[in-house]
A and B are shown apart, each in its own frame.
Chain A
Amino acid sequence: MRLEKCWFCSSTVYPGHGIQFVRNDAKVFRFCRSKCHKNFKMKRNPRKVKWTKAYRCLHGKDMTQDSTFEFERKRNRPERYDRNVTEQTLKAIPLITKIRHERQKKHITNRQKQGKTKERERDAKELEQDIQMLPKKDVMLSTQKTKVVVKVSQQQTEENLMEE
């Protein structure tokens, strides 16, 4: 049994699910659920609908190029059954999925890095601008702390000079 991909959202169409639409030029459109079929009937472009795989890949939201995707491929030649091969494949599946999930996590953290640095910059700027809004006690504390740090550094430099 072949697991096809949905034409609209690119998810897997499991046996017994979904609907096939055959156009008069014999192109077959497979849909995983009525949501995808309805969107197709409304002539929506899957690349412009945000929840589809096509959109997410196009806008760099998902990991697209990875060696773990190479295992899942459309093969038109049926494999001859071999017990050892089947056993090894079954063992490999969870391992590969684990690796893929880790890489996807990494991809997401990499994508979030930019936003985090920007957020930090924004926070620093806000602190600089609106420091007078803080109650005076806190401001005093923060300034004292910085003074202490400066003193330490100065001391260190003096010590360094002495040594020299």
Chain B
Amino acid sequence: MAAFLRSKCSSVGRTLMGGLGNNLFGAVNSHVEAVTRPSYCDAICQQVRTFIQMRTNLKVVDNSGAKRVMCIQSLRGKKGARLGDTIIGSVKEAQPRGKVKKGDVVYGVVVRAAMKRGRNDGSEIQFDDNAVVLVNNKGELIGTRVFGPVPHELRKKKHLKILALAEHVV
């Protein structure tokens, strides 16, 4: 019952944000979780993009079976994870008969982040959403495909398999 109520509340909150572009609500929420929102909302409420930290929801862009992962720990340090960093997450939504189930604790590599990240040449790169590719504790991929664009910075982090499987490298 409690879970049901919470889910209802969160959905109401999200519609409020989407409809009214309530900046205050967004600011409060961004501390707790940086939900990946569709791009039409971005223009209305210019949310401050933050690190991927505890309770950040991330989209899973491989065919491991998970759809949404919530960050429960970033393996980066105090501030949180950024583009190319590894996180620990718990699977919140999963497809049936996938390699991972709902409630599993998994490792993941952040392949897209909405917060901008400086590049080696001094420019910056920013993506549409927060996305993750699931790996095991040795850094091997769980799925066999990677969807969408990934940054070439993963080469430096020695995730060559992700780069090889990716559709686009930018």
Tell me the A residues contacting B by CB distance below 8 Å: 1, 13, 15-24, 26, 28, 41-43
Contacts and interface: CB of A to CB of B under 8 A. Distances in A.
A24 B123 contact: no
A17 B122 CA distance: 7
Given A41-B46, A42-B43, A26 B126 contact: no
B128 A19 contact: no
Given A26-B167, A42-B43, A15 B121 contact: yes
Give the one of A1, A13, A23, A24 with max B CB within 10 A: A24
B129 interface: yes
Contacts of B126: 19-22
B148 A16 contact: no
Contacts of A26: 148-149, 167-168, 170
Contacts of B116: 19
Which label, helix, strand, loop or mixed, suits the secondary structure of the B interface? loop
Contacts of B51: none
A24 B43 CA distance: 16
Contacts of B127: 21-22, 24
B125 interface: yes
A17 B42 CA distance: 23
Given A20-B119, A20-B126, A24-B128, 15 more contacts: A15-B121, A15-B123, A16-B122, A18-B123, A18-B124, A19-B123, A19-B124, A20-B124, A22-B126, A22-B127, A22-B128, A24-B148, A26-B148, A41-B42, A43-B43
Contacts of A19: 116, 123-126
Contact of B170 (A17, A20, A42): A20
A15 B120 CA distance: 10
A23 to B, nearest CB: 6
Given A41-B42, A43-B43, A22 B123 contact: no
Nearest to A1: B121
A7 B121 CA distance: 19
A16 B121 contact: yes
Nearest to B40: A43
Given A26-B149, A26-B167, A17 B123 contact: yes
Nearest to B42: A41
A41 B126 CA distance: 13
Nearest to A23: B128
A41 B43 contact: yes
14 contacts: A16-B121, A16-B123, A17-B122, A19-B123, A19-B124, A20-B126, A20-B170, A21-B127, A24-B112, A24-B149, A26-B168, A26-B170, A41-B42, A42-B43
